[in-house]
Structure 1
Amino acid sequence: MLNRIILMGRLTRDPELRHTQSGTAVASFSLAVDRDFKNRDSGEKATDFIDVVAWRNTAEFVSKYFTKGRMAVVEGRLQIRDWTDRDGGKRRSAEVVADNVYFGDSKRDGESGGSFSRPAAPAPVDYGIPAGADQFAELADDDGDLPF
C-alpha cells in the first residue's frame, strides 16, 4: 500500500509551534493549494485549504523559516483522525503529516539562513575545432569490424 502526498502551496498563517509533554516539537499550519482548472462561472481557480502537521526537526525548521504567504512544498502522508466534539458528536478530519518541507520560492530579500543557494555553474569550456581543420572532414572507415 502507498500513502504519499506532495503538495505545493502558500502558507495561510504562520506555523504554530507547540511541544508535547515529553518535549517533542509539533508545528501546525495550513496550505492554500490552487487546483489546475478554473471555475466555469467565475473563471477563477478553485483553492483547497489543507491542514498540515510537522513533527520534531521538521516542525522546528518550518516554524523558524516559514511565514504566512511563503510558498512551500510538503512531502508526507494523509492521516484521517476520528474524534468526538464537545456535544458528543463523532467527527472526522484529514490532515497531511509532513515528512519533509522545502522552499517553493526563491529566497526573499533581506532573509537569511534556511535556504540553499546553488553555486554558480562553471564557465563552459570551448572545445573548438583546431585551426586549419576541416569542420566536416570525412572519418576514415576501417574494415568495419567493431573495436571490441
Structure 2
Amino acid sequence: MNKVVLLGRLTKDPEVRYSTGEKETAVARYTVAVDRRFKRDGEPTADFIPCVVFGRSAEFAEKYFHQGMRVSISGHIQTGSYTNKDGVKVYTTVVIVEEQEFAESKSESKNTSNPVEESSADDGFMNLTDEYDDELPFH
C-alpha cells in the first residue's frame, strides 16, 4: 500500500500552472515542511516534502493556501527520473495529493471572525465561549 499522510507548514505559496492540450488542467506544486519527531545534534529539524495536486484541488490550493499555513495532506508517493541538460540522470520523489485541508484554527491563521477564544496555554486545545454551552452534549 502506498499511502502518505503529512502535517506541516507550507514553505511558500503554491505555484500553479495549467496543462496544455484538449482539456486544460490546473497543476499546483508546493512544499510542506514537516517537523521531525526525534532530533539529533547536527541534523535538520524538518523534512521538506514536495507535493503536487491537480484540477480543482490545485485551484483551491492557489486561492486559499499561503506560506506558513499549517496543512494536512494525504496522497501517495510517486518516484521518477529524467536526464538533465548536462546528461546526468536525476531521480525525483513527490507526493501526489489526493486530499488536502487546513490544519489550524482561524485564530492561528489570524482571521478575525472566530467564535473561539485563544487558549492562554499552548496545549493545542481551544476554549469555547459561553454562548456554545447549550449546544454541547456534555457540561
Shift in CA distance, 29/125, structure 1 to aligned 2, threshold 3 Å: closer
**d(CA) in 1 for partners of 2:111, 2:28:** 24
The CA RMSD measured in Å over matched residues stands at 2.2
Shift in CA distance, 88/64, structure 1 to aligned 2, threshold 3 Å: same
Query: What does 1:10-21 correspond to in 2, within 5 Å?
Result: 10-21=9-20
Query: What does 1:1-148 correspond to in 2, within 5 Å?
Result: 2-22=1-21, 23-39=24-40, 41=41, 46-107=45-106, 108-110=109-111, 120=132, 122-124=135-137
Offset from partner CA, 1:83-127 (integer Å, 9 cap, x none)? 111111111010000001111111223378xxxxxxx5715589x
If you compute each CA radius of gyration, which structure gives the higher value, 1 or 2? 1
- SS in structure 2 at match of 1:110: coil
% identical equivalent positions: 39
Shift in CA distance, 62/75, structure 1 to aligned 2, threshold 3 Å: same
Shift in CA distance, 77/110, structure 1 to aligned 2, threshold 3 Å: same
- Contact in 2 for aligned 1:74/1:101 (Cα 8 Å): yes
Structure 1, unmatched stretches of 5+, are: 113-119, 127-148
Offset from partner CA, 1:66-94 (integer Å, 9 cap, x none)? 10000000100000011111111111010
**d(CA) in 2 for partners of 1:124, 1:6:** 31
**d(CA) in 1 for partners of 2:102, 2:136:** 27
Shift of 1:57: 1.2
Q: Give the number of the structure whose residues are more often helix, by fraction.
A: 2
Shift of 1:45: 6.6
Equivalent position amino acid for 2:62 in 1:
S
**d(CA) in 2 for partners of 1:32, 1:125:** 37
| Structure 1 residue ranges, 4+ long, deviating more than 3 angstroms after superposition | 123-126
Shift of 1:60: 0.8
